[in-house]
Each structure stands twice: as C-alpha cells, then as structure tokens.
C-alpha cells in the first residue's frame, strides 16, 4: 500500500474507542506518519468498541496500535508515546503534527488538551470529539467548525456515564467523522 499523504503527520491523543479507530482509518487512507499517545493497556472490556484483538489484552495500547497499523499499511510510520498526556508534554509530543485528533475519555483531560493545543500549538489543526454516548440517532453526530483551526465532532450533548454507556456504533461513527475531517483538511477542503 502506498501513502496517499506521505508527508502528512497526524497526531492522535488517546487510543481507546475513538483513537484506535481513527488511527486504523487514517492508516488505511494512506496518511504517511501517525504520532499516537496513550498510557493505558488493552483490557477485555475494551474489545467491544476499540480496534484491538483478544491477543492484545495486557499490551500497552500504543504497542498494539503500532502493530495493527503496520499490518494494515506498512508504509505508515508510527511514532508511539506510552505516557499519560499532560499540559506539560502535549506540545512536545505533537509539535511536528499538521493535524491532531483529541480522543481522550475524561472531560477535564479533554478540556486541558484542547486548550493546550490551541494556545501552545496555534498553527496545528485540532479535531476533537464530544457527545457520542448512548443510542440516540446516528444522524445527531456531526462535524462543526468552532474556530479557524478547531473542529468538533459528535452531538455535543451525550456525555458518557452509568445511565448513558458508550456503544460501538455511535463511537465509531464519531471516530469516522474525525478521520474524515482530517482527510478533508489534508485535501484542503475547509468546513464553512
């Protein structure tokens, strides 16, 4: 497989339901280099919505993702950071990226990440997600341009919790919105 975008570098913060699926889609689409970061390991409970196999249980998500991506597209270069993402390391990890996808679970960490990218890496395009839990209509998931370099995917309302779990279909649909927005940006198509 050849790279459609051999010189593009896309970062993915978090390799759970959103990030692992975004990474797979972007590798399949021919993005030349992916910078991925997550501190966690694959657990059995992840398999219902994340892009991993049973054989990956106990493996750091960065290692499992790197293996999956090289099996999908050997020409995709994967730079993996097995770390907890903090305000202190965000800019260093993603400084060479053209576009970064936020795919974190915790609302406070999501806010920290978005604010840090927008202030410390203002020329990097950011594609984030909010609102994909539950089983509401898939048509509610959409992509919106928030500022010049900031795009938000999801319904903006459905926060995950005990009464509103995250299911694979809406999460993967939101991940597809994020991956699609990355490709649109790489093609030079800007959302109004």
**Cα gap 48→81, rounded to integer Å:** 24
- Containing 92, the helix (H) or strand (E) segment is helix 90-94
- State the residue for tokens 């928030």: 146
C-alpha span between 73 and 29 (Å, rounded): 9
pTM attached to this predicted model: 0.94
- Give per-residue pLDDT as tens, 17-60: 999 999 999 999 999 999 999 999 999 998 988 899 999 999 99
Domains in the chain with CATH codes: 5-186 (3.40.50.720)
The number of CA neighbours under 13 Å toward the Cβ of 132 is 29
How does pLDDT run across 89-111, given as a tens digit for each residue? 999 999 999 999 999 989 899 99
| Contact criterion met (CB below 8 Å) for 175 and 127 | no
146 vs 127, 129, 135, CA distance in Å?
10, 12, 25
Q: What is the pLDDT of residues 134-177, one digit of tens each?
A: 677 778 899 999 999 999 999 877 666 556 666 678 889 999 99
Q: Is 141 left (phi over 0), alpha (psi -120 to 50) or beta?
A: beta
**φ and ψ at 191, to 5 degrees?**
-70, 140
Q: What pLDDT is recorded for position 21?
A: 96
Instruction: Report phi then psi at 60, rounded to 5.
Output: -55, 140
């Amino acid at each position: 497989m050849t790279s459609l975008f051999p010189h593009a570098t896309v970062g993915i913060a978090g390799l759970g339901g959103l990030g692992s699926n975004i990474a797979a889609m972007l590798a399949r689409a021919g993005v030349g280099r992916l910078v991925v970061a997550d501190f966690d390991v694959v657990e059995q409970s992840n398999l219902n919505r994340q892009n991993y196999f049973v054989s990956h249980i106990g493996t750091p998500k960065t290692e499992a993702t790197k293996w999956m991506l090289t099996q999908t597209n050997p020409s995709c270069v994967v730079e993996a950071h097995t770390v907890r993402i903090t305000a202190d390391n965000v800019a260093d990890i993603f400084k060479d990226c053209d576009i970064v996808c936020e795919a974190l679970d915790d609302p406070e960490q999501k806010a920290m990440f978005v604010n840090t990218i927008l202030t410390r890496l203002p020329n990097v395009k950011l594609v984030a997600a909010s609102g994909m839990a539950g089983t509401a209509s898939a048509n509610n998931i959409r992509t919106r341009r928030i500022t010049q370099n900031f795009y938000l995917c999801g319904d903006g309302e459905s926060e995950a919790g005990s009464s509103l779990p995250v299911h694979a279909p809406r999460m993967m649909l939101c991940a597809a919105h994020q991956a699609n927005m990355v490709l649109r940006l790489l093609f030079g198509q800007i959302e109004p």
